[in-house]
Amino acid sequence: MRIAIIQSNDAPDSQQAMVAWLTAGLDQAADAQLVIWPELALCGYDDAQRIRRLAITADSEQMSQIAALARRRQQTLVFGYAEQHGVQLFNAVRAIGPQGETLANYRKTHLWNGYEKALFTAGNRLQTFTLAGMRFGLLICYDLDFPELSRLYAQQGIDCLLCISATSPGYELIAHHLVPARAYENGYFVVFANRGDTQGAAPCIGMSRLAGPDGNTLAALAGAGAGIIAARLDVSIIQRWRQHHPLLADRHPQLYQLTGY
């Protein structure tokens, strides 16, 4: 499967501009079957008022237009956005398939610091979807710090974890160490689609990348700013690696039961 990771360093300035902004990204990734944007791609991360203003609902006109875009381009779009649901606001990622169908909608379960906790409601469930014979799981930024989530996805049989992010300076270790560790310990691909903002109150490190099931980095951007990664996911790589290194099969779950866990 051909994928593209779009590392954005800006965001639409209005709800009406969202489709044009996504289209500009797709123009750089015309050959990709699956295109992934970072956390809160459609509104930016660092301005709470802007996030509230650009929040959209699942049945909004903007979401319908994005679905039409996916159908017109025959591509699967995975993007972060602020989801308005009644009085609640969620930090969410949505996957829309090539027929314009919603494949999954994941709400960030582990909110980072007081800023996010004051602004968003935490989600409470994992989400997977299947595309072209591959199974995908979704996480957002801080969620990746909790190995339980990545392992639960492994137990659900995913082939690739899509983690969108707004990781800031000082946390380069996430790209360098945590992303490959999650891939290695679960034997699947990990896509890390990070924001590349260089301006504003919350600059990000960029460093978007793809890690293979053996933990090796298959493609990466060196730093912040706008950029794109084009790569290919081959499920046979997972199969060969797990035969050579059957970590999941060799587990002893009876040893891992913790009181009150």
| Per-residue pLDDT reduced to its tens digit, 167-221 | 999 999 999 999 999 999 999 999 999 999 998 889 999 999 999 999 999 999 9
The bridge status of strand 160-165 relative to strand 2-7 is unpaired
pLDDT digits (tens, 9 = 90+) for 210-230: 999 999 999 999 999 999 999
Residue 260, in any domain of the structure: no
Against a cut of 0.95, is the pTM above it?
A: yes
Tell me if 261 is assigned to some domain. no
Alpha-carbon distance of 12 to 20, in angstroms, equals 9
Give me the residues of the chain with pLDDT under 70, please. 258-261
Please state, in angstroms and rounded to a whole number, the distance separating the CA atoms of residues 182 and 214: 10
Gap between the Cα atoms of 47 and 44, Å rounded: 7
Number of separate domains in the chain: 1
85 three-class SS: strand
Q: At what angle do helices 18-27 and 61-73 cross, to 10 degrees?
A: 20
Question: Does a structural domain hold residue 180?
Answer: yes
Position 259 scores a pLDDT of 56
Evaluate whether residue 77 is within a structural domain.
yes
Asked if 14 and 61 touch (Cβ cutoff 8 Å), the reply is no
- CATH number of the domain residue 27 falls in: 3.60.110.10
CA distance 183 to 188: 5
Domain that includes residue 128, residue range:
2-255
Residue 163 lies in a domain: yes
Residue 162 belongs to some domain of the structure: yes
Confirm whether 218 is domain-assigned: yes
Contact predicate 238/212, CB 8 Å: no
Residue 64 belongs to a domain? yes
Helix, strand, coil fractions of the chain, as percent rounded to 5:
30, 25, 40
Res 47: pLDDT: 97
